Structure 1
Amino acid sequence: MAQIEIIEATEVTDDLVEAFQRLVPQLSSSNPPPSGAELQAIVSSEASVLLLAVDREAGDRILGSLTLAWFRIPTGVRAWIEDVVVDGEARGQGVGEHLNRHALDVARARGARTVDLTSRPSREAANRLYQRIGFVPRDTNVYRYSLDT
């Protein structure tokens, strides 16, 4: 069993870039892994935090990641969880739960009133995890406008 610790990415290293080259294809087949410069933009942002699940017993190998963004709107501070990914070899070991619970603590500390996320219905294990943690499905429509067209 891995000794999992959740840390905030504070610098872009070769290990971080390599981890995202390995993790992003497990998350999305339509988006390439971020470059070092793109990771730097995320790491240095004042509106988000890049959380990493590292295995302390395996030389701090990155097992998964989660991005938490927050923003102020007229009704308060809101937070949003995006791009949660756990390496296939580490699934079922509690990595996703550790990442999400840590993100909720960070959002609470930032003054967020709510934390939202989306998850495809086909990601059955992830959806069970989110509901077990306490996320509840919302009766709402999610719309997307693609600026790439």
Structure 2
Amino acid sequence: MKIIEITEMSQQVYDAFSVLIPQLSTSAVIPSWEALEDMIHSKASIVLAAVDSENNQKILGSLTLVVFRIPTGIRAWIEDVIVDEKARGMGIGEQLVRAALERAKAEGAKTVDLTSRPSREAANRLYQRCGFQARETNIYRYKID
């Protein structure tokens, strides 16, 4: 298993996200080829993937690290951490998160944030194991129709 940055769109990437996205959210729509390609080439998005080097570089998980500058410095968010249900329990999520933290540091980020629903107990344990601490804050969302 190794962690790579996805820098080019391919059929393998499209196929992997077609399998992974429904496992993250039953209401999410599988992104189009163009949407995935745009994300991969976005200056703010760093797409990391866990690939099985013994199985034709099959993508078993991914996350997106979003790095951006604000007036108080460079910040980062980890979004959409997904590990294929068939590969869970193998430490892939932890490898992805730790790689994202290293990359955020290399990019100059001072903090890395993420959110996780309380019902995602295994994910929350993972984030705590990786050193994340719950914050006393309110999360607000404005839905644009």
Matches within 5 A, 1:123-142: 123-142=120-139
Aligned-partner Cα distance in 1 for 2:93–2:77: 16
Map of 1:79 onto structure 2: 76
RMSD value over aligned CA atoms? Answer: 0.6
Q: Which residue type is aligned with residue 67 of structure 1?
A: T
Indicate the SS of the match to 1:26: helix
Deviations 1:31-84 (CA, angstroms, capped at 9, x unpaired)? 111111011101111111110100001111100000000111111100000000
1:144, distance to aligned residue in structure 2 (A): 0.3
Give the deviation of 1:30 after TM superposition: 1.1
Alignment of structure 1 residues 60-139 onto 2, 5 Å: 60-139=57-136
1:59 paired to 2:56: yes
Q: Aligned letter for 1:93?
A: M
Uncovered stretches (5+) of structure 2, i.e. residues with no partner = none
TM-score by length of 2: 0.98
- Counterpart of 2:39 in structure 1 is 42
Return the alpha-carbon distance in structure 1 between the equivalents of residues 134 and 66 of structure 2. Answer: 20
How many Å separate the matches in 1 of 2:63 and 2:50? 9
Describe the SS at the equivalent of 2:97. Answer: helix
Structure 1 CA distance for aligned equivalents of residues 58 and 50 of structure 2: 8
> In structure 1, how many angstroms separate the alpha carbons of the residues matched to 2:6 and 2:16?
12
Match of 1:20 among 10, 17, 21: 17
Moved over 2 A (4+): none
What secondary structure does 1:57 align onto?
A: coil
Query: How many Å separate the matches in 2 of 1:118 and 1:40?
Result: 24
Q: TM-score, normalised by structure 1?
A: 0.96
Q: Counterparts of 1:76 and 1:12 in 2: how far apart (Å)? A: 30
Helix, strand or coil: the match of 1:99?
A: helix
Matches of 2:117 and 2:6, distance apart in 1 = 26
CA distance in 2, matches of 1:11, 1:36: 11
Deviations 1:64-105 (A, max 9, x none): 000000111111100000000000011000000000000001
